[in-house]
């Protein structure tokens, strides 16, 4: 079986070594030394001054919304994982969908202004598939109308824009360290901000608002993470260079093998250093997409329709008019991509796709 993804697994003895220290200290959670060490090493690797390690990427968005006091309308994208929208609704906000750019698949800045009302407080944009949004255009609009900017950068570990981590953009940027991600801590996430005061507020919010044992600084939640998860992150971070290099090599292999076909590829933002976190293909129609998916699954190969259906179809939001997102959601298939995927397996995947397309053409 070839799944769409598989977690990177570091040498188990390296993980065991850190586990022994956890056992000796009997300090399993609550801002332990490994959590602090991971935060420090991530800041150094990413070139970021302020970040907080959290339980997951969803709580990262929720804490960002709370810290910025967002509780009304938020302009967002319909082409993302469900957590982008569900976090807004969970926090009592109203998602206002803006259609995506047909080439980048990110929120289209030229369509944001018309969606702004007196109740708009923020823009929540996703760097889809690790491809940076037009961050400068979005920030210009936010500055013009006094809006906050939050980025769902769950796909973006290792992505850079103009030589710097994409996590540097926005009032708050969030990410996921889930096991399916390019860099993972089994479960986990983080928030990033340039504002030290915002960092302080979010630090209280991730730990029930605790300000010492007997004092509280506002309403908080359990957003922290454990020493066991931090240990996995510390070991995996040692291999991030080879992980990124391997992912790029695999993506270029797909490019070469499938190059004879007129697949529509995602247009990567100019000035970006892409992390190759996913390999999305856009087929000519939903019917072809379904045929390719069925063909691959018959051979025990499991791609994924990221991101289907479009979030505007959720039964707890008002249906928007986002034809570009709806159409692309129906036509995209992400191919298997993970560290130990072999060239032989990639060839099998490509041959199956090409035979299916040529047979149906």
Interval 17-41: pLDDT, tens: 999 999 999 999 999 999 999 999 9
205 and 218 Cβ atoms separated by less than 8 Å: yes
Is the pLDDT score of 115 beyond 50?
Answer: yes
Beta strands 51-54 and 189-192 are: antiparallel
- Contact partners, residue 171, CB within 8 Å, separation at least 6: 68, 148, 149, 150, 193, 195, 198
Question: What angle do the packed helices 286-298 and 343-360 form, to 10 degrees?
Answer: 130
pLDDT of residue 142: 98
Is the pLDDT score of 243 beyond 70?
Answer: yes
Give dist(CA 93, CA 202) in Å, integer.
Answer: 19
User: Using 50, 70 and 90 to split pLDDT, how confident is the model at 209?
Assistant: confident
pLDDT of residue 68: 98
Side-chain half-sphere exposure of 263, counting CA atoms within 13 A:
28
Is the pLDDT score of 361 beyond 70?
Answer: no
CATH code of the domain made up of 241-360: 3.90.1150.10
Peptide bond into 101 cis (omega under 30): no
pLDDT above 90 covers what percent of the chain?
A: 93
Is the pLDDT score of 219 beyond 90?
Answer: no
- Tell me the β-bridge partners of 216: 210
Q: What angle do CA 247, 356, 350 make, to 5 degrees?
A: 20
Handedness of CA 99, 104, 106, 107 (dihedral sign): negative
Give dist(CA 141, CA 110) in Å, integer.
Answer: 10
User: Using 50, 70 and 90 to split pLDDT, how confident is the model at 261?
Assistant: low
CA dist 69 to 63, 74, 122, 219, Å?
10, 12, 10, 12
pLDDT of residue 127: 98
Query: What is the domain partition of the chain in residue ranges?
Result: 12-237, 241-360
**SS3 assignment, position 216:** strand
- Give me the mean pLDDT over the 284-304 stretch: 97
pLDDT, one tens digit per residue, over 303-326 is: 999 999 999 999 999 999 999 999
- Give me the mean pLDDT over the 183-210 stretch: 95
Here the tokens at position 108 are 């289209």
pLDDT, one tens digit per residue, over 222-236 is: 999 999 999 999 999
pLDDT above 70 covers what percent of the chain?
A: 98
DSSP-derived secondary structure for 196-210: HHHHHHHHHHTBTTB
CATH code of the domain made up of 12-237: 3.40.640.10
Average pLDDT score, the chain: 96
Give dist(CA 112, CA 176) in Å, integer.
Answer: 26
320 and 312 Cβ atoms separated by less than 8 Å: yes
User: Using 50, 70 and 90 to split pLDDT, how confident is the model at 260?
Assistant: low
């Amino acid at each position: 079986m070839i799944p769409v993804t598989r977690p990177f697994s570091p040498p188990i003895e390296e993980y065991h070594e850190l586990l022994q220290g956890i056992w000796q200290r009997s300090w399993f959670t609550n801002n332990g030394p490994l959590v602090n060490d991971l935060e420090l090493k991530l800041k150094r690797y990413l070139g970021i001054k302020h970040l907080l390690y959290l339980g997951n990427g969803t709580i990262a968005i929720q804490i960002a919304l709370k810290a910025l006091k967002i509780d009304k309308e938020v302009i967002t994208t319909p082409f993302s994982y469900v957590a982008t929208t569900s976090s807004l609704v969970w926090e009592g906000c109203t998602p206002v969908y803006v259609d995506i750019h047909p080439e980048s698949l990110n929120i289209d800045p030229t369509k944001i202004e018309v969606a702004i009302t007196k109740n708009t407080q923020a823009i929540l944009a996703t760097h889809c598939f690790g491809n940076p949004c037009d961050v400068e255009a979005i920030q210009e609009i936010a500055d013009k109308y006094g809006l906050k900017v939050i980025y769902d950068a769950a796909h973006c570990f290792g992505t850079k824009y103009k030589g710097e981590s994409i996590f540097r953009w926005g009032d708050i940027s969030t990410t996921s360290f889930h096991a399916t991600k390019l860099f993972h801590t089994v479960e986990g996430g983080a928030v990033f901000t340039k504002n030290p005061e915002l960092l302080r507020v979010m630090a209280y919010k991730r730990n029930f608002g605790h300000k010492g044992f007997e004092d509280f600084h506002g309403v908080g939640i359990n957003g922290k993470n454990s020493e066991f998860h931090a240990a996995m992150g510390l070991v995996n971070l040692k291999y991030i260079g080879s992980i990124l290099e391997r992912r790029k090599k695999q993506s270029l292999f797909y490019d070469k093998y499938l190059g004879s076909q007129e697949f529509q590829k995602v247009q990567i933002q100019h000035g970006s250093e892409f992390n190759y976190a996913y390999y999305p293909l856009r087929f000519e129609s939903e019917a072809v997409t379904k045929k390719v998916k069925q063909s691959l699954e018959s051979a025990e190969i499991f791609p994924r329709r990221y991101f289907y259906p479009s979030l505007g179809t959720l039964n707890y939001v008002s249906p928007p008019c986002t034809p570009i997102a709806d159409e692309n959601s129906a036509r995209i298939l992400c191919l298997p991509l993970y560290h130990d995927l072999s060239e032989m397996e990639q060839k099998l995947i490509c041959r199956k796709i090409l035979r299916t397309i040529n047979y149906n053409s």
